[in-house]
Amino acid sequence: MATYRLTLEYDGTRYHGWQFQQNARSIAGELHKALADAGVEVLELGGSGRTDAGVHALAQVAHLRLRRKDDPAKLRQLINERLPQDIHVVGLAAAADRFHARHDAAARSYLYQLATRRSALHKRYVWWVRRALDLEAVRLGAAALLGRHDFRAFCERPHEQTSTLVVVDAVEVVPAESLVLLRFVASHFLWKMVRRLVGTLVRVGWGELPVETLRALLAGEAGPAELLPAEWTAPPSGLFLERVLYRGDPPLQPPAPVTPVALPPR
Helices 135-144 and 211-219, packing angle to 10 deg = 20
Q: Reply yes or no on whether 70 is catalytic.
A: no
Catalytic residue among 11, 37, 52, 97: 52
Residue 56 to residue 149: CA distance in whole angstroms: 26
Pairwise CA distance, residues 106 & 86, whole Å: 27
DSSP state of 54: T
Nearby residues of 90 by Cβ (< 8 Å), 6 or more positions away: 7, 8, 9, 59
Please, which residues bridge with residue 2 across strands?
Answer: 66
Interstrand relation of 239-245 and 107-115 (parallel, antiparallel or unpaired): antiparallel
List, as own/partner pairs, every contact residues 213-222 make where C-beta atoms lie below 8 angstroms and the sequence separation is at least 24, other chains included: 214/141, 214/144, 214/145, 215/144, 217/153, 217/154, 218/144, 218/145, 218/149, 218/150, 218/151, 218/153, 219/149, 219/150, 220/150, 220/152, 220/153, 222/153
List CB contacts of 237: < 8 A, sequence separation 6 or more: 13, 54, 123, 124, 125, 126, 127
Please, which residues bridge with residue 110 across strands?
184, 241
Quote the CA–CA distance of 93 and 5 in Å, as a whole number: 5
Catalytic positions, written as ranges: 52
